[in-house]
Amino acid sequence: MFHAFALALALDSAVPFTLVNNHITVDVTLNGKGPYHFIFDSGGSNLVDPAVATEIGAVARGSARVNGVGNTSQSAQRTTIESLRLGGAELTAQRFVVLPTRAGFGASEGPPIDGMIGAEFLARFVTTIDYERREMHFGDDPAVYENGAQVLPLTLDSGHPHVACRIDDVPGTCTMDTGSRLNVTIVKPFADAHPAVVPSALTANSVDGYGIGNAAYGRLGRLGSIAFGTLAVQNVITDFSTQEHGAFADSSIAANVGGGILRRFTLTFDYGRRQLALRPNASFALPDSGDRSGLFLITRDGAIVVFDVRTGTPSALAGVTKDDVIVSVNGRRYQATELPDVRALLSGPAGNAVQLELADKSGATHVVRVVLADYV
């Protein structure tokens, strides 16, 4: 059921968000305190960092193990947050899992991540996400189903939204996951069952994601198309997961669709009607490009660190190695919170040369020249 009072307030104005690493980040207040920076994750549940729980007086209790994209589970506790407010929308007595989002998956973001909201919020509001305007709306506006919207039946699995999709014309089920930075992750069981969807040209296996359960691994290649109803996105860089455990080893789905694809649409999640509306925006038909360096970066101890280097990519050829600390890029020093800016430089035009000053495990520094290239 909708929270009627909260819904009435929410209709008065749009809620702005920032898009960082293809993740929707919103400011929320918890128990009247904040703002705190949360990821809005349609593929996830309510999470809060232990330090935030302490600050707002939410007592963590019990002990549990939670799974995510990585191979391992993480220990966690549970708490209840009496008030969660996002824009004009307020939810009360919300259950949260308490685990270290700031030091955990937040390490791959740059700006601090205090927690996550998703499934529980979507279950109570008709939520429209306008990636083009960087704003969200909460309310039952019939206009979202007009003007060329593709309306798809939606099913829920543990709160995660699933829709029918086609992977290179092979039918399957896709999770629509605003919490993934990638375009598409083809799960290993589906790829094994349908080898024709796997391109002949794939990169080496490497880290493609970082979240609950630590790193997720896969090989990158270009998918011919992924389609939802009559809407098809062509020639997209796709993660072909090699995970044997975790969310990307789920045999019940074909793929996890992330922010790299979803940002091409205005989305309306309508759990009450069990519908998802997709309206293409100005980015819908743009050619796909991504990282051109081959690095997977995280933050550690206030610095930007090389977590993995994909074999055969420009950075590997330049001699960058795992655990190198990035001291400067093109002569400028970047703070850990500026990790998205460094990623943007490493996704620059092919042929651009990027100068990296690196510190190895001993602290010794050296400079390498990485010539960006399309390696997928």
In a domain, 122, yes or no: yes
Q: Looking at residue 144, what is its pLDDT?
A: 67
pLDDT the model gives residue 6: 39
Question: In this predicted structure, what is the pLDDT of residue 13?
Answer: 66
In a domain, 45, yes or no: yes
Which of 86, 105, 137 terminates a domain? The answer is 137
Look at residue 11 and tell me whether its pLDDT is greater than 50. no
Q: Among 8-12, 190-194, 340-344, where is mean pLDDT lowest?
A: 8-12
123 plus 183 within the same structural domain: no
Q: How confident is the model over 268-275, as a mean pLDDT?
A: 94
Do both 49 and 175 map to the same domain?
no
pLDDT at 246: 80
The predicted structure's pLDDT at residue 12: 42
Alpha-helical regions (H) of the chain: 4-10, 50-55, 119-122, 188-193, 259-262, 314-318, 339-346
Is 290 a member of any domain? no
CATH number at residue 306: 2.30.42.10
In a domain, residue 147? The reply is yes
pLDDT (0 to 100) of residue 74: 75
User: Is residue 287 one of the residues assigned to a domain?
Assistant: no
Residues 130, 147, single domain; the answer is: no
Residues 213 and 319 placed together within one structural domain of the fold: no
Max CA distance (Å), the chain: 61
Clarify whether residues 9 and 133 are in a common domain.
yes
Confidence of residue 4 (pLDDT cuts 50, 70, 90): very low
Q: What is the pLDDT of residue 71?
A: 63
Q: Tell whether 69 and 167 lie within a shared domain.
A: no
Tens of pLDDT, residue by residue over 65-82, are 776 666 666 788 999 999
Q: Which residue has the tokens 């391109």?
A: 199
Residue whose entry in the numeric block shows the structure tokens 């001993």:
362
Query: What mean pLDDT comes out for the span 24-42?
Result: 97
What is d(CA 230, CA 61) in angstroms, rounded to the nearest whole number? 47
Phi and psi angles of residue 192, each rounded to the nearest 5 degrees, phi first:
-65, -35
pLDDT at site 7: 39
Which among 130, 153, 115, 189 has a CA at the least distance from the CA of 276? 153
pLDDT in tens, 227-250: 999 999 999 999 999 999 888 889
Which residue range is the domain that position 213 belongs to? Answer: 141-280
Out of 27-31, 123-127, 195-199, least confident range: 123-127
Number of C-beta neighbours around residue 154 at 10 A: 18
Which residues, at least 6 apart from 326, have a Cβ–Cβ distance to it below 8 Å? Answer: 297, 303, 304, 305, 306, 334, 342, 356, 357, 358
Q: What is the dihedral of CA 303, 307, 310, 314, to 10 degrees?
A: 10
pLDDT at 139 (0 to 100)? 81
Given a cut of 90, whether residue 215 has pLDDT beyond it is no
pLDDT tens-place string over residues 277-303: 999 999 999 999 899 999 999 999 999
Q: What is the pLDDT of residue 210?
A: 85
Q: Are residues 167 and 44 in the same domain?
A: no
Burial class for 94, CB neighbours closer than 10 Å (0-12, 13-18, 19+):
buried
| Whether residues 150 and 132 fall in one domain | no
Domain count, the chain: 3
Which pLDDT band, with edges at 50, 70 and 90, does 121 fall under?
confident
Single out the residue in 116, 137, 158 at which a domain terminates.
137
Provide mean pLDDT across the span 326-348.
97
Residue where a domain stops, chosen among 252, 280, 308: 280
- In a domain? residue 65: yes
Name the residue with higher pLDDT: 155 or 211: 155
Both 300 and 254 in one domain: the answer is: no
Asked if residue 257 lies in contact with residue 247, where contact means CB atoms within 8 angstroms, the answer is: no
Instruction: Quote the CA–CA distance of 282 and 270 in Å, as a whole number.
Output: 23
**In a shared domain, residues 9 and 99:** yes
Find, among 41, 75, 46, 45, the residue nearest to 58 by Cα. Answer: 46
Quote the mean pLDDT of the chain.
91
CB atoms within 10 A of CB 252: 12
| pLDDT at res. 43 | 81
Residues 169 and 259 placed together within one structural domain of the fold: yes
Evaluate whether residue 222 is within a structural domain.
yes
Evaluated on CA atoms 236, 175, 23, 330, the torsion sign reads: negative
* Ranges 75-79, 338-342, 352-356: which has the least confidence: 75-79
More confident site: 272 or 13: 272
For residues 199 and 245, membership in a common domain is answered with yes
For residues 255-279, give the mean pLDDT.
Answer: 95
CATH number, domain containing residue 193: 2.40.70.10
- Residue 18 domain-assigned? yes
